[in-house]
Amino acid sequence: MRIRSLFLLLFTLGANAQIKTIEPKSLVPLPEIDLVECERLSKLSDKDYDNFKAMSPKEQQLVIDASEDTALSHFYSEACSWYCGGLVGPISASSSLSEKYKAENIHDFCITTAWVEGKPGNGEGEYIMYSFPAICPRITAVSIHNGYIKDKRTWKNNGRVKKLLMYYNDEPYAILNLQDTRDCQTFDVGVLGFHDFKEDAPDWTIKFEILEVYPGDKYQDTAITEIYFDGIDVH
């Protein structure tokens, strides 16, 4: 599978010299906190404010810190973002290790879950695909939490992505070079989408295919915690 993916990439590069390689425009480190406990407390707080009031001062501060942290804003902040108007349709994957690591985990606003591909080997050639309705606001940036980041040991034990081949409407568009870090990595990707309100306007897709990986210390698989978006046409 890896040979096939690299062959397709070389063919694409030869056929279309315009394909670009993109480095992260920013790396935002995760705070040094217990992310699993943070997720548990934040869910309790979201369910009922009385749960928050019943927490210890230390627990309350953890919830507050998470909501104000830049790297965790996608998961816990209520501030305005592209998602005030952004519409993400069905998400599919070429494979998943099990139902616990299904495709939908990659965009579930949860810091403690991940999509883990399920094919033998390190995952080269496996992909995740997002679909968007035509009226969706356009996308200009992609943010990635690379690997299974819920804690440092899990992150090291499972593989992480080194290179992602990004497709726009099934056409190779760019190669994203990811660093081997738990930091949130954001890429400027140009303007993607239609924001078209015509009744016959088509949906559009973005696919991310694993080209190369950073192997895990223990498991021969590759994980991505979250891929999410920013853009224009909102507010």
Residues 50 and 109 in one domain: no
8-state DSSP, 218: S
* Residues 20 and 51 grouped into a single domain: no
Residue 48 falls within a domain, yes or no?
A: yes
The answer to whether residue 111 is domain-embedded is yes
Residue 74 lies in a domain: no
Range of the domain at 148: 2-31+82-231
CATH classification at residue 200: 2.60.120.260
State yes or no: pLDDT of 190 exceeds 60.
yes
Mean pLDDT calculated for residue range 171-192: 98
pTM for this entry: 0.90
Whether 98 is covered by a domain: the verdict is yes
- Are 93 and 176 part of one and the same domain? yes
The verdict on residue 89 lying in a domain is yes
Evaluate whether residue 141 is within a structural domain. Answer: yes
Residues 112 and 214 in one domain: yes
Mean pLDDT of the chain: 92
Q: How many domains does the chain contain in total?
A: 2
Residue 73 in domain = no
* Residue 6 banded pLDDT, cuts 50, 70, 90: low
Question: What's the half-sphere exposure (Cβ side, CA atoms, 13 Å) at 91?
Answer: 18
pLDDT, residue 16, reads: 44
Cα separation, 182 vs 192, whole angstroms: 26
Sorted by sequence, the CB contacts under 8 Å of residue 180 that are 6+ apart come out as 146, 160, 162, 214
Q: Is 75 among the domain residues?
A: no
